[in-house]
Amino acid sequence: MFQPFTEEHEQFRKTVRAFAEKELAPNTDEWEETGCFPGWVFKRAGELGILGAHFPEEHGGGGQDYWFSVAKAEELPRSRSAGVGMGLLVQSDMATPVISDLGSPEQIEEFLKPALAGDKIAALGVSEPAAGSDVAGIKTVARKDGGDYVINGSKTFITNGTRADFVTLLAKTNPDAGAHGCSFFLVPTKTKGFQVAKALKKIGNKASDTAELFFEDMRIPARYRLGEENMGFMYLMQNFQTERLIAAVSAISGGFHMIEEAMAYGRERTAFGKPIIKREVWQHKFVDLLTRLESAKAYVYLTVDRYNEERYIKKQPLSMETVKHISMCKILIGDLASDVADNCLQFHGGWGYIEDFRIARAWRDQRLLRIGGGTTETMKYYIAKLLGM
């Protein structure tokens, strides 16, 4: 298999692994119960350089390539909570890359550097109650008023939303222009008119907080607009690729961990006179699943290599060919992760249906992959358009 990691990558991997196993995993059962992990997790991740390794040094990052983010995403599942991993990945790979790409020196100082240090918690505000994968259908409006923008509307399914210090927000600045009338804004959550409407209860990823947000005559200075006016949809489509790719990387790693844990259980659990892992039917199933995971991992790595080449080496917008492959990766891994989780739960029998067994949590958590960041159906729609269908 293509091996992109250097000794420096592996040292970073060890840092993330130790953080996940020693500082996160012992607490994640409690955080699943309370429905939120504490803010010190962001601060500690920032101190270790985990949040910003792949950002430029002048932006407060480590100045490294995207493979550092891959190593991070592969190790965070060792925390045994997809919710914790998701909250951290929103901070490092979803709400902040667009600030690095477009931000003014002042915006980078006020928002990006504190986020990468873990001093400020970030959220990405795109989805709305009536507009999820159909981003062009958002209704939140930002109206220019002198030197300010006045924003009215709402957002939902916002990870980190109940305790974020700022939101990277997409709003309509030209409501009549459809997708071509959107702009990005950086919104401090202490702004008058900003409200956390409610915390949402989910079936999985319970350790991460998810909120519905409401904006009523929320006034922000024009200097908080990110990039050019009415170019937000174009920026978002590039930003989405990072979200989709890192989600696929994390899910593959989670799949390997699910199988590893199931096989350990199968060596201890005896049925009809011998360990259930000795049953040929299950041996074949696990071999098939591992083969599919290894194949998917190779595909994702090749796609990451394209992404890294275009964004980090050539520093250019992603090609449509790379966008196509990222969408295909998300489709492939979404279906595969579901198959892995379902088979591993079945292997546990009745115990797989009990909350005390982590496979029950993993089975719930992985289901989000086919929804978040664009549904599987939306991915297929985009790919069909790229193929000229």
DSSP labels for 338-379?
Answer: HHHHHHHHHHTGGGGGSTTSHHHHHHHHGGGGGTTTS-HHHH
Residue 190 has a pLDDT of 98
Phi/psi for 380 (5° steps) reads: -65, -35
Q: What pLDDT is attached to residue 1? A: 62
The per-residue pLDDT for 2 is 72
Superfamily holding 232-386 = Butyryl-CoA Dehydrogenase, subunit A, domain 3 (1.20.140.10)
Q: What 3-state DSSP class applies to 282?
A: helix
CATH architecture of the domain covering 123-226: Beta Barrel (2.40)
Q: What is the pLDDT of residues 19-67, one digit of tens each?
A: 999 999 999 999 999 999 999 999 999 999 999 999 999 999 999 999 9
Do residues 53 and 64 touch, judged by C-beta distance below 8 A?
A: yes
Query: Is 243 among the residues known to form the active site?
Result: yes
Residue 346, CB-side half-sphere exposure with 13 Å CA sphere: 10
Please state whether beta strands 194-199 and 210-221 pair in parallel, antiparallel, or not at all (unpaired).
antiparallel
Of 206, 160, 247, 199, nearest to 358 (Cα)? 206
Instruction: Please state, in angstroms and rounded to a whole number, the distance separating the CA atoms of residues 189 and 73.
Output: 27
Residue partners of 180: CB distance under 8 A and separation at least 6:
174, 230, 233
Residue ranges per structural domain of the chain: 7-121, 123-226, 232-386
Low-confidence stretches of the chain (pLDDT beneath 50): none
Query: With contact defined as beta carbons under 8 Å apart, do 148 and 219 qualify?
Result: yes
Active-site choice (75, 110, 128, 243): 243
- Options 2.60.120.620, 2.40.110.10, 1.10.510.10, 1.10.540.10; which CATH number does 7-121 get? 1.10.540.10
